[in-house]
Structure 1
């Protein structure tokens, strides 16, 4: 899939929000500046967040809960995590009981921390914009492709 610009990334995030459920993990992978946070911002805006979501790069975890948005979401940026053991202290899996995880830099946790995650990989496209590829697990098959 091709995302032409930031507006396209926001719109794609909104399409994910339309089918997001408690227990879901959306993993966003790609180099710096590829658009991971833009997709996250589109998703959070579609869930009702007023204003622009800050990047959680320094906080690592940015929680959002009702009534701010329609369901609980932890927006996580693992860029500064140096070892997977550091993430255990964040309690990410606990959030899946009644909410969803939106995880940037998921590869920092090893090969496959959430096998049922919708894994989105972004890359710079030579023609401009971004190229997005998705690994769609069984838990997402009935919701994919996004409409």
Structure 2
């Protein structure tokens, strides 16, 4: 049985470092779902993942919804927040055609709920809790892909 791991994050630099550790383990087809309130550090985590993949220009895609960053391992960065506002996130997510694009990339979806989870049975689900000064990051490894991978 898989139990989620918990990581305490004290600074933005620590969140970035966690992202780099995750990014270093990524491979083609990986799906990572990030959840947490505004200002929790989701984009900082993605910046760390990106840096591990050789990408240094990651910003939040809140207003454009999705950005594709080309590198040796392509990163698709989606912010589903505005899709959730529309009330029919599953339909809008389908319009992004992520099933096709994901085959050759690592896909990270901020605000990635149940609509996003259906994209793959193999994924990391990361939830950031910022109710305290020190953030607690819950990492759930879903499917066989991530089992045994140290983050």
- Provide the residue aligned with 1:17 in structure 2: 23
SS at match of 1:2: strand
Identify which range, 115-124 or 101-110, moves more after superposition.
101-110
- Provide the residue aligned with 1:123 in structure 2: 129
8 Å CA contact 1:123, 1:130 repeated in 2: yes
* Inter-partner Cα distance in structure 1 for 2:126 and 2:92: 23
* Inter-partner Cα distance in structure 2 for 1:134 and 1:42: 16
SS at match of 1:106: coil
Unaligned stretches of 5+ residues in structure 2: 1-6
8 Å CA contact 1:78, 1:108 repeated in 2: no
In the TM superposition, structure 1's runs of 4+ consecutive aligned residues that sit over 4 Å from their partners are: none
Matches within 5 A, 1:27-106: 27-50=33-56, 52-65=57-70, 69-81=71-83, 82=86, 83=88, 84-106=90-112
When residues 133 and 115 of structure 1 are mapped into structure 2, their CA distance, relative to the original with a 3 A threshold, is same
Unaligned stretches of 5+ residues in structure 1: none
The C-alpha deviation readout for 1:77-128, integer Å capped at 9, x for no partner, is 0000031111111011112211110110011627x323311000001142x2
* Inter-partner Cα distance in structure 1 for 2:27 and 2:34: 17
TM-score by length of 2: 0.86
- Provide the residue aligned with 2:137 in structure 1: 132
Cα shift at 1:129: 2.4
SS at match of 2:82: coil
Number of corresponding residues: 139
* Inter-partner Cα distance in structure 2 for 1:40 and 1:72: 13
